[in-house]
Amino acid sequence: MLGLFLVLVTTHAGQVCMSNGWVVEWTVGDTKVDFSITIDEDTKNNKDWISVGIENNHWVAAFSDTEVPMTDITLYYIDGNTEDWYTGDLQITPASDVSKGGTDDITNELWDDSKNKFSWSKLLDTKDSKDIVYSLGGEYYVLCNSGLVDDDGMIEAPYMLKETLEAVILSNDFSGGCTTEVY
């Protein structure tokens, strides 16, 4: 007798709920991290871009640590374009990885208009000096921003507009600041 078994696989995601109502989620795999951010309707309708930055070493504590602080930033324009940005290596003002000799390592970009949710992936180690190396169980800080693009096509400086900053552990079961689990 041939038996048929149905296996239900549930993928859990790490998450952090920001004070402004946004939710950042991630799933860490063997070679990559899948990220997403869900924003509110007001941001979607009144801002030109959102960003999620992952810091490897928070700037406030960085001056006493030996590790150079870096922030790996995903900049998503509400019109559908995405850019890979960073701070670090004495580059305090965020800049495009490509403009400073790095590579754009964001993949699998997807905007879900019905959920106000942007998703993307990054390799755990892109081998790009402008990106941080992600590790399962690593301690990071998540920063989220939003802003406008001026008449000259320049974005408002995101480093001046930090809306949220949360300490996280990059694991598939981390949950911070959330009252209910989001999957």
What are the domain boundaries of the chain? 27-176
Which whole-number Å values give the CA distances from 177 to 106, 167, 180, in the listed order? 26, 10, 9
| pLDDT tens-place string over residues 132-163 | 999 999 989 888 888 888 887 777 655 444 45
Fold of 27-176: Immunoglobulin-like (2.60.40)
Task: Give the whole-angstrom CA distance, residue 171 versus residue 155.
Answer: 32
CA quadruple 108, 48, 16, 115: dihedral sign: negative
Q: Letter for the amino acid at 100? A: K
Can you give the pTM of this predicted structure?
0.83
Show the tokens assigned to 42: 């007001």
